[in-house]
Structure 1
């Protein structure tokens, strides 16, 4: 406990007080005989009566409320509300208005709100709820009278207490509290709690922090949040749903006011001042005021209390004095609340608040309330490193200096469960600190990341002790200190996470060395090749020498899987320089050259001529080797598939260089493949020689001729010349027996099939002199008929063209005979200008004449 308020006696043995109201340093008394009295109370100069109305009412004054902003006093007397003007002292509560609509009122509540009016000026809006029998009727103050709000609530019983907060009205009955949401039409009711479970008790309701309701139940003060009751109508136990712990008093409350941060309540033995925070809520007890009947707050730190004929002023003790006493008692929360409402200079107040938060945090930490301590450290805006220093095991080289923000000498040694709880609280604190630091770095574009590095390294140590599943995500943020983190991860045998650390810090050689060492370690999380392959794939072209260095052993261990380092469907892999990769494979792993080239050409659509040439050359080498094995009598199951690949490549690829590839093909074998290459070079005679004279493959020769006829009309002539005048193409390659000599039969068949595609003059030169002319009869007749038909077609076309030319000439002559007048007054319809001498113009079929330039512009604008 400490002294929060001092008491000043104002009146003794005066009038019979029945109601009390106050504002600022003024207090207004309503008496049993209907008098109104105003006193001005100064702490130094004493009490001064400012207004007195001896005959305001013939009945006792029941209730009063002041609206200081408008200098209005609302008085309930004789079951009716009267309104007085207090702006002129000499008028002694000048009567303004009395509302007959409020007749029968037993108590009332007010809602006063200051906001901008429709004209943009600040205006005070006053609403009143009057309890009349079993109803609450609502009014509003309009200029100089009370007008109805056209709103009323039917009650369950006669109300004993009533309080208005925002869009809700709380009513206290003899046995329960009920809240009404008046923003709905009609208003919706929610039952709260019983007034008492054991004794007969008058209800008490007080507005707390402007938006909360304080209601009494037995010896407790319950806090109710009205915003919880904006849903559908029903019965809700507000006490059970309320997260704020009820405040216990020594006896049931008889009256209650709120003066931030204190609740001041009347009990039968004293006036008690209590805080709503902390475990020990009692701040001060004023037993000398046990006989009071009324409590009213007039201003911040000023409360008036009255008995039947006595009046006291209760003033808050200076906040710095209270704060000093509270800090000695280690009541930090209350000290912070008082500092928040103090009128000290802003910067000084902020510094004081941070100091108190620091002291409070240290106290909580010492008491092993780690989570609460971290929240206070956060409020104190302390350097995270100073909090980390509370954990010696997390600091590489702990140092204790006179400049420490949080002295560690009195910090308890933490072990087992306490240490784990402390780590969890520290993690939460550092996570918040990290977010702030990241935002700060983004806002200031500051390149210094030392604090962020300390935070993340500490978080890493905490995660290793509490939740190692969070280690990898933290390391991927790449802010941990390399050496310190490396040491901790090795100590905890977190090899997979160590790879993440190395990767983030660019220590790729260390990572790859570790992966290589662990690849064959039984039971290791890094066992196998998968992690090594994935790591190498992610390095990219900038680390190509390193990729080659560590890909070597992977390719040796498992060539098929290892080749994925260079062929997997990843952006970084596909972007590797293919020429250098090919050179590496040629020099180190020749068996993988073909699979690599096949992948980049067929899967990645590589169009590089050199690589297409290289793949064809490799295919050729392998086919020749297999043919040699076959010649030795060895089994060669791969020969046909490999040769099919070679043929397909030669036929389908459009990117190899035929003249260069041809050099790798011998003249004794692979003649079919050689023919394909020669075909690309348009060497038709050599192609036909291979197909006809060596392979004897007439269908292939015909297909070749048909495919090339459109580009070269002589191809069928070459085909027939090859058949009719055979010459051995290669010395070491025997000719096909069907074509060693001129094959007249085949030649005649081809002549009859491709009659129109063979030039008669040329082909007759190749025919043997002793050949019977009757054998050429069909061919010659067909040729002659074809030529006659073509000549006749040409003659018809000539006639048609001449007729069309004659028609067009007639049309031209007709148009030339037309005349029209063009003079100095003729205007161009496009530009509205005259035609001058020697101006080029255009005449439309409809007779309209325009300048040539205007015509060109119109044509150009009409184009899409």
Structure 2
């Protein structure tokens, strides 16, 4: 049974040798005997007969041998003997093994075998604070209770060792008084710290697992509420029992371990490994680690520490400081930081802390605007919140944010934000106009990039308030913007008057008519071409439109008329006594004759005289150009009624030519269609005649295919195949049943 130790007796020259069975069989003890006459060996003793006496050799108890071996520094032999203790002494065996491992670890530690020493510390299951007390250079949290080296319990049972004949003391001798001094002199030793790192890394997995379980358990209990109050009290009552069990300060022990491990890694120059610790789940002590990292200028690790502790404000303040230092060419920092690093840090915070994101994004908005605005858009921060913050802290970037927001999805930006963007553009344009107007350099046809954006926004979006914007425009400038706003209010005549009489750009007036025509040119709408007839009347009646423009615009912007419906259109008096008629009536009634100056086609006889009053001249060339370019969108008959009598037919060739060709083509097409319809009608009649010529023979034996009764003299029906006969009543009943069945199936769907 003795695997490690065996008493080997060599009888020669009266010398008794005791050797170990472990190779290389070292000599344990030598006993010199004289006058041995007889020797008798039993299982646990040796009896020697001498000349005048009898002596017995009995084995020393294992407990005593363990004490002797430990005291003499033979720790491996002592540990081997511990394994021979009987099973009933398992608790004694564990205590002795732990004590021997600790003494052996101290012995190895003093002699520079640090890695072997920490292995024995691991085997002893000693508290990590006991091991960390050997490293004065490692700073621990102030609340940590450091376990001093204990008095090693290797006494065992007094009766068990009562037969020991030697005078060896059962108690372990105290540590040398100069141990602390020796450890202090080795605190900077690289091998010591590397051994500590390996020790802590082997311990860390279990500690982190228990600490995480403890945190999860507390969250669950908090969520459950008072139902487990008694269980909480039970946990608190048992706190402190056992070693690092769940709910007994596991996170505190994990904090001690991670704090020590981080320091050891930094002291050995393993900054990358320290970063990996901080990037994962860790319980590093904030105060100690922050101080160490600041002193070492380990900014990347410090950022990760703030991040893992959710101290995002401190992290962003540090990152902003590092970015500023990196911009300085005189800075001696080893790692350069860019504004984009702040943007990357802010991305995960968009959903959890949008206010913090907005606050620190202002610091980099000027240097990397595209990335910052992309952060706002991709981070799902409410657009109203972003707009309000930009308006307060960075007004010059507000419009750009709204532009990108609108470009991504017009429906995602509210009407208020659309109105905000247009007002920003308009404010810039008004400031620009005021500066040039003061210098008397204003030119209505000059377009800056901001004014182009304003015009594009006014035309492209619909969420703003045109009435409010119209009141901000000066009376003697920005006619193009005014025309677009009037168009949004369905004041088409005023808008076209601006293009024609203020801007003097017929192309803009034509483009305006095209937009209105295309927006209204749907199958359900009639006479959408009347917008072109309205432009013709403005060309042919310049005096009237110019004289009434200012008055109508003033009335439009007066307080009592601010509630003008956007669906209404301007009205013009007719000279035929019909009273006021809206342009909308002209656009919606196909058969109504369009003549805002006359209700009779013969009224054109005096057109020229009326139009020439006051020195105004009709714009006949523009009218003819309009007719030639948009002949397919204008009602020819109504357009001819508006033209002056003395208009030459030759001038209308470009209008009437394609119009007549189109009319002739339509007539020919209709004739062809009519002929085809007539031919089809004849074919159907011929087929009907052929079907009616069919003969069905009904005899006395003919049966109904539905009820299986004889047809007889009853009214009957014949199926298209010409051979299936049914009673007419049966046929009707079957059709009703089919209709009922089909209806029920549709309801089920």
Verify: 1:360 aligned to 2:360, yes or no: no
Match in the other structure for 1:475? 278
Q: Distance in 2 between matches of 1:779 and 1:363?
A: 114
Match in the other structure for 1:720? 536
Tell me if the contact between 1:368 and 1:418 (Cα under 8 Å) persists in the aligned partners: no
Q: Please show how residues 46-57 of structure 1 align to structure 2 within 5 Å.
A: none
Aligned length: 551
**Residues 532-584 of structure 1: per-residue CA shift (max 9 Å, x gap):** 666566643544454565666x37xxx622757842x4479733333223223
Q: Distance in 2 between matches of 1:654 and 1:388?
A: 71
Match in the other structure for 2:120? 376
Q: Distance in 1 between matches of 2:456 and 2:10?
A: 113
Match in the other structure for 1:581? 386
Q: Please show how residues 506-545 of structure 1 align to structure 2 within 5 Å.
A: 506-512=310-316, 519=324, 523=331, 525=333, 530=339, 539-540=349-350, 542-545=352-355
Match in the other structure for 1:17? none
Q: Distance in 2 between matches of 1:748 and 1:664?
A: 37
Match in the other structure for 1:741? 617
Q: Please show how residues 379-458 of structure 1 align to structure 2 within 5 Å.
A: 379-393=123-137, 394-396=139-141, 404=150, 410-411=179-180, 412-415=182-185, 419-441=189-211, 445-447=216-218, 448-458=250-260
Verify: 1:503 aligned to 2:307, yes or no: yes
Verify: 1:463 aligned to 2:273, yes or no: no
Verify: 1:691 aligned to 2:477, yes or no: no
Q: Distance in 2 between matches of 1:842 and 1:856?
A: 12
Q: Please show how residues 332-347 of structure 1 align to structure 2 within 5 Å.
A: 332-337=75-80, 339=82, 344=87
Q: Distance in 2 between matches of 1:613 and 1:405?
A: 82
Verify: 1:487 aligned to 2:370, yes or no: no
Q: Distance in 1 between matches of 2:733 and 2:101?
A: 95
Q: 1:523 to 1:345 in 2, by over 3 A?
A: farther
Matched residue SS, 1:502: helix
**Residues 7-42 of structure 1: per-residue CA shift (max 9 Å, x gap):** 5899xxxxxxxxxxxxxxxxxxxxxxxxxxxxxxxx
**Residues 244-286 of structure 1: per-residue CA shift (max 9 Å, x gap):** xxxxxxxxxxxxxxxxxxxxxxxxx99975647xxxx654479
- Structure with a larger share of its residues in helix: 2
Matched residue SS, 2:7: strand
**Residues 350-404 of structure 1: per-residue CA shift (max 9 Å, x gap):** 5554444333323322333211111222233333233222223433558666785
Match in the other structure for 1:671? 479
Verify: 1:330 aligned to 2:132, yes or no: no
Q: 1:782 to 1:587 in 2, by over 3 A?
A: closer
Q: 1:403 to 1:685 in 2, by over 3 A?
A: same
The TM-score with structure 1 as length reference comes to 0.53
Q: 1:815 to 1:681 in 2, by over 3 A?
A: farther
Q: Distance in 2 between matches of 1:507 and 1:769?
A: 85
Verify: 1:756 aligned to 2:564, yes or no: no
Match in the other structure for 1:43? none
Q: 1:284 to 1:573 in 2, by over 3 A?
A: farther
Tell me if the contact between 1:651 and 1:676 (Cα under 8 Å) persists in the aligned partners: yes
Match in the other structure for 2:455? 647
Q: 1:327 to 1:853 in 2, by over 3 A?
A: farther
Match in the other structure for 2:5? 4
TM-aligned CA deviation for residue 430 of structure 1: 1.0
Q: Distance in 2 between matches of 1:316 and 1:799?
A: 134
Instruction: Identify unmatched segments of 5+ residues in structure 2.
Output: 32-43, 45-57, 153-173, 219-249, 522-527, 554-614, 697-702, 710-726
1:592 to 387, 394, 397: 397
Tell me if the contact between 2:136 and 2:184 (Cα under 8 Å) persists in the aligned partners: no
Verify: 1:709 aligned to 2:508, yes or no: no
Tell me if the contact between 1:370 and 1:422 (Cα under 8 Å) persists in the aligned partners: yes
TM-aligned CA deviation for residue 455 of structure 1: 0.9
**Residues 217-256 of structure 1: per-residue CA shift (max 9 Å, x gap):** xxxxxxxxxxxxxxxxxxxxxxxxxxxxxxxxxxxxxxxx
Q: Distance in 2 between matches of 1:718 and 1:405?
A: 110
Q: Distance in 2 between matches of 1:331 and 1:742?
A: 125
Match in the other structure for 1:609? 415
Match in the other structure for 2:720? none
TM-aligned CA deviation for residue 743 of structure 1: 1.7
Q: Distance in 1 between matches of 2:68 and 2:202?
A: 33
Q: 1:700 to 1:662 in 2, by over 3 A?
A: same
Tell me if the contact between 1:476 and 1:500 (Cα under 8 Å) persists in the aligned partners: yes
The TM-score with structure 2 as length reference comes to 0.60
- Structure with a larger share of its residues in strand: 1
